[in-house]
Structure 1
Amino acid sequence: MNAYDGLPDSVTEVFGPDATAEHAYDLLTVDVPADAWISALTTARDRLGCTYFDWLSAVDEPGTGFRVCAHVVSLEGGRVRRLLLRTTVPHEAAVLPTAVGVYAGAGWHERETHEMFGVGFTGHPHLVPLLLPEGFEGHPLRKDFVLAARVAKAWPGAKEPGESEHGGPKRRQMLPPGVPDPNEWGPLKGQLRAHAQG
């Protein structure tokens, strides 16, 4: 029997005492501490037969940190077994060792994750920008990234109730998360009446 088949029940035996797992929608998800990241990836490849590397990325979870995820697959015996490995690093110390030594395909994914979220990968052979233009400042997939384009150009679409000449009750104006108040940031700073943040 493949070790994969005993999961999630045997997660601590396979991935260590601090690992947790759940199985839902034909996807096994295993969470490990950051210091067990590389050993968990190695276990997935060598013990569970997950030799196919699919993708690696992150999710910014305010108040928690960055949840770094790697999706790998076992194709042994004609069965497809999917595994999502996850770990969390704090915002103020967003660093993991590179997975390139375990899965060579992780190289570009780590570059993109570094660029979009600011997560560092120590030991990466070439951690340079991959997608953004030269000189771009910031990490655009972080929740605290300012959407400057929404200051320069208003969001297109229908007007809010009360903004047309038809009268009616006026709704409290609010800005979506990540959209700065144009009176506080950008070319119109200090020139507009203040917007209410929701």
Structure 2
Amino acid sequence: MSNVGWLPAPAEELFGPEATAEESYDVLTVDVPPSSWTDALRVARDRLSCTYFDWLSAVDEPGTGFRVSAHVVALSPVRRLLLRTTVPHEAPVLASAVDVYAGAAWHERETHEMFGVTFDGHPALDHLLLPDTFEGHPLRKDFVLAARV
């Protein structure tokens, strides 16, 4: 176990035994299991001074699940952290980050709408971009686009 990038301790000590970290292009990336998601966000905010919430989204990775990522930043000095976790396609559920970063609310709504990931504890996973009558999740790889039919 060794420190990666600007982390003050090994990722396993900060984020839990299953955490991994790597640094590339001045972005430190930490992967954690879904059960550690909100704890990892709290560590980023409280221990690493990542007080700026930039964005949260997902990527559909066939055969793996939905990789949910949150980009947070420490401002002085500027240090960027990408926290990631993966939820399975069969049960795309993750604890909401809203209690840690209030700014995650709209990002989680969009991710829920586009990918179908449910954020437990979110105050209102209402439609954000699509009409209320829209069916499906258009950024999933299995979503059939009219242009492809």
**TM-score band, normalised by shorter chain:** over 0.9
Q: Distance in 1 between matches of 2:142 and 2:104?
A: 26
Question: Once the 2 structures are TM-superposed, how far is the Cα of residue 4 of structure 1 from its aligned partner?
Answer: 7.1
- Structure showing greater Rg: 1
Q: Which has the higher contact order (CA 8 A, sep 6+)?
A: 2
Kept in 1: contact 2:5–2:23 (CA 8 A): no
How far is the alpha carbon of 1:37 from its aligned partner?
0.2
Asked whether 1:81 is paired with 2:55, we answer: no
Q: Is the 8 A contact 1:20 1:31 kept in 2?
A: yes
SS at match of 1:92: coil
Q: Partner residue of 1:70?
A: 70
For structure 1, the residue ranges without an aligned partner over 5 or more in a row are: 151-178, 181-198
Q: Which amino acid aligns with 1:90?
A: P
- Secondary structure in structure 1 of the residue aligned to 2:43: helix
Q: CA deviation at 1:134?
A: 2.0
| 1:143 match: secondary structure | coil
Indicate conservation of the 8 Å contact 1:4/1:48, yes or no: no
How far apart, CA to CA, are the structure 2 residues paired with 1:5 and 1:93?
Answer: 34
CA deviation vs aligned residue, 1:118-161 (integer Å, no higher than 9, x gap): 0000111011100001200100000000001x1xxxxxxxxxxx
* Number of equivalent positions: 146
Deviating runs (4+, > 3 A) in structure 1?
none
Select which of 113, 123, 128 maps to 2:111: 113
TM-score, normalisation: structure 1:
0.71
* 1:44 is the counterpart of 2:52: no
Counterpart pick for 1:91 among 85, 89, 104? 89
Matched, 1:5 2:6: yes
Compute the RMSD of aligned alpha carbons. Answer: 1.4
